[in-house]
């Protein structure tokens, strides 16, 4: 029996149809990365053609994966939320608890500051976005609660309040990084005096 060479995209025991799924997933990832960059530079109303070109795919690939613009916007938002939320565990493993908390709050503030265009779309009243605020809360709240617990901050410190405070500091504040640092300094003081 002849040995069939296996590409990097296939596992030896998978049928040939598997390759298309791997390619489709790679195309979808490329579209989401490109859309995030294009939305950041040109806004969420940028032409699909611009996103497809940045992703290195055809316009049909974008529409096949995301039939409505709202599908693409929601997918980009979820992906960005996931990346930010997942970073909490990475930081917790690498830094002292209070430092991990500060770094993650700075990362979260950066997330908020760069999502102004997405925020306008998300608050447009389009029902396609109705589930996103709950998704935001389900991903960010536990990440922050874990960091707060690791830092030894009292459980009466509400993660939702802190998320809203940092978001408020990040909207339109040219020195939001400094404002978040001051907020964390207050948390450090609370730890040392507690």
pLDDT confidence tier of residue 192, bands split at 50, 70 and 90: confident
- Give pairs for 184-188: CB < 8 Å, separation 24+: 184/98, 184/101, 184/102, 184/105, 187/98, 187/101, 187/151, 187/153, 187/157, 188/98
**What 8-state DSSP symbol labels residue 123?**
T
Q: At the top level of CATH, which class does the domain 74-193 belong to?
A: mainly alpha
Convert the pLDDT of each residue in 22-70 to its tens digit. 888 899 999 999 999 998 888 889 999 999 999 999 999 999 999 999 9
Q: What is the reported pLDDT for 79?
A: 95
Mean pLDDT of all residues in 77-91:
96
Which tokens belong to 102? 């500060």
Helices 132-151, 159-170: crossing angle, 10 deg rounding: 110
* CB-based contacts of 184, cutoff 8 Å, min separation 6: 98, 101, 102, 105
Mean pLDDT of all residues in 168-184:
81
Q: What is the reported pLDDT for 14?
A: 46
pLDDT confidence tier of residue 12, bands split at 50, 70 and 90: very low
Instruction: Identify the CATH assignment for 16-67 out of 1.20.120, 1.10.3430, 1.10.3470, 1.10.10.
Output: 1.10.10
Percent of the chain with pLDDT over 90: 55
From 10-19, 46-55, 165-174, the region with the lowest mean pLDDT = 10-19
pLDDT confidence tier of residue 2, bands split at 50, 70 and 90: very low
Q: What is the reported pLDDT for 174?
A: 66
Residue 76 to residues 1, 30, 113, 137: CA-CA distances in angstroms? 46, 11, 15, 16
What are the structural domain ranges in the chain?
16-67, 74-193
pLDDT at 150 over 50: yes
Q: What is the reported pLDDT for 126?
A: 87
Mean pLDDT of all residues in 166-180:
80
pLDDT at 148 over 80: yes
Average pLDDT of the chain? Answer: 86
3-state secondary structure of 143: helix
Q: Can 16-67 and 74-193 be said to share one CATH topology?
A: no
Q: Is the dihedral of CA 169, 42, 63, 69 positive or negative?
A: positive
pLDDT at 7 over 70: no
What is the distance of C-alpha 152 from the center of its chain? Answer: 26
């Amino acid at each position: 029996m002849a040995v069939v060479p296996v590409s990097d995209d296939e596992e030896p025991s998978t049928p040939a149809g598997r390759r298309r799924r791997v390619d489709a997933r790679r195309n979808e990832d490329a579209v989401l990365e490109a859309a995030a960059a294009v939305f950041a530079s040109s806004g969420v109303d940028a032409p699909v053609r611009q996103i497809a070109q940045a992703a290195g795919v055809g316009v049909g690939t974008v529409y096949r994966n995301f039939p409505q613009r709202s599908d693409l916007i929601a997918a980009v938002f979820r992906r960005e939320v996931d990346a930010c939320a997942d970073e909490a565990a990475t930081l917790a493993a690498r830094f002292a608890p209070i430092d991990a908390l500060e770094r993650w709050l700075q990362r979260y503030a950066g997330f908020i500051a760069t999502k102004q265009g997405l925020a306008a779309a998300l608050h447009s009243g389009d029902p396609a976005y109705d589930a996103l605020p709950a998704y935001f809360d389900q991903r960010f709240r536990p990440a922050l609660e874990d960091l707060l617990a690791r830092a030894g901050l009292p459980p009466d410190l509400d993660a939702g309040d802190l998320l809203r405070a940092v978001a408020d500091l990040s909207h339109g504040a040219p020195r939001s990084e400094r404002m978040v640092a001051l907020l964390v300094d207050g948390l450090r003081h609370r730890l040392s005096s507690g």
